[in-house]
């Protein structure tokens, strides 16, 4: 089974802290994604990556950065956390193939106080 693992299920941080959200997949997928999920807004894409050291901005990249030093690991970084970044963060991965779908991690619920 494909496994996408997010390191924390719940996180509580203070405004201004630097926050790292980690995601690891074990299926040798090229593509990795970070989404945030908010009630009434669905899932919105923050950043994605097609390969190691490559990254592309999604629809809402402001206030975030990412790192992909190894194929299996994709990190989301909040340089200076703010209260409006309180959200559920979902990592996903996929193969580059027309029939492939996204596989999601279990999510990290981040609260910024």
Q: What is the C-alpha R_g of the chain?
A: 13
Distance CA 12, CA 103 (A): 25
Q: How far is the CB of 80 from other proteins (least distance, A)?
A: 27
- Give min distance, CB of 104 to other proteins, in A: 4
CB of 28 to other proteins, least distance (A): 16
CB proximity list for 98: less than 8 A, separation 6 or greater? none
Taking CB under 8 A as the criterion, which residues in 3-32 touch other proteins? 31
107 near other proteins (CB under 8 A): yes
The residue among 113, 110, 100, 90 whose CA lies nearest residue 19 is: 110
Binding site for other proteins (CB under 8 A): 31, 33, 35, 40-45, 48, 50, 56, 58-59, 90, 92, 94, 96, 98-99, 101-107
């Amino acid at each position: 089974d494909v496994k996408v693992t997010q390191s924390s299920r719940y996180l509580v941080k203070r405004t201004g802290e630097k926050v790292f959200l980690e995601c690891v997949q074990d299926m040798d997928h090229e593509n990795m994604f970070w989404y945030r999920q908010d009630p009434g807004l669905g899932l919105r894409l923050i950043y994605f990556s097609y390969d190691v050291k490559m990254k592309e901005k999604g629809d809402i990249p402001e206030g975030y950065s990412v790192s992909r030093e190894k194929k299996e690991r994709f990190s989301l970084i909040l340089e200076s956390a703010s209260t409006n970044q309180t959200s559920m963060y979902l990592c996903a991965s996929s193969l580059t193939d027309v029939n492939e779908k996204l596989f999601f991690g279990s999510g990290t619920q981040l609260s910024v106080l």
